[in-house]
A and B are shown apart, each in its own frame.
Chain A
């Protein structure tokens, strides 16, 4: 029985068509690339804000 995962992922990320681009003056970047950069910013902010687990001191 084939796994449904490739079918689901294929529905979400359709690679059969040219990429969509954001174009403003000389700036041109694919939507996927913009999403990755926004994700990097989100991860950076999260890394600063999320508290680091405190080490339990051995009694």
Chain B
């Protein structure tokens, strides 16, 4: 049955001790490794605050004190999300985290970075204030110039809001889940091997000294 096939493949790829490990390699004991989970923590706050903003609507998040507070939470969680994600990206780049068959981990991370930027841009368009109106009226020129303005219409609030609230968050969450499962499957990349100590340079042969009174 297909369920047996799916279960056997899933358990083979990610047995429980790999899916939910209780140990980590010694080299993971470094602060640089906290930025991936910090990104996910910020994303949880972004999504949770976004759900509340979506349920209550623009009148609430512009007019009421608690609405403006949640609007601020959503904004600053996004700022922390990108802060942590970019520091995580720098760390992974300089440790060559694509090595050892981890190419898909790197690529899913790169793609989720780009999708998150799109989610942030549609968020700017969803504010329902003069700022977002300006951003839409300016942004349309750039997208029209590359020919996608009719498919992705930044002055169409309904389309931009739907992208921001439904489509792009689903894409970000799906990519993050895939990214983390790949990390679980392949493990954290080991550090680059230490450079071997150079052998001591051989001492030069003794130079013959010229004898005194030799002919020029």
Total CB contacts across the A-B interface at under 8 A: 28
Interface of A, secondary structure class, is helix
Does A54 belong to the interface (CB within 8 Å)?
yes
Does A1 belong to the interface (CB within 8 Å)?
no
**Interface magnitude class on chain A:** 10 to 19
Interface of B, secondary structure class, is helix
Closest to B28 in A: A52
The answer to whether B83 touches A47, judged by C-beta atoms less than 8 angstroms apart, is no
**Interface magnitude class on chain B:** 10 to 19
The answer to whether A52 touches B29, judged by C-beta atoms less than 8 angstroms apart, is yes
CB distance from B93 to the nearest CB of A (A): 11
**Mask for A31-59, Cβ within 8 A of B = 1, else 0?**
00000100010011011101010110000
A47–B86 Cα gap in the complex (Å)?
A: 13
Does B169 belong to the interface (CB within 8 Å)?
no
The 9 nearest A-B residue pairs measured at CB: A47-B31, A52-B29, A47-B32, A44-B87, A52-B30, A44-B90, A48-B32, A50-B31, A40-B87
Known: A36-B83, A40-B83, A47-B34. Is A54-B90 also a contact (CB below 8 A)? no
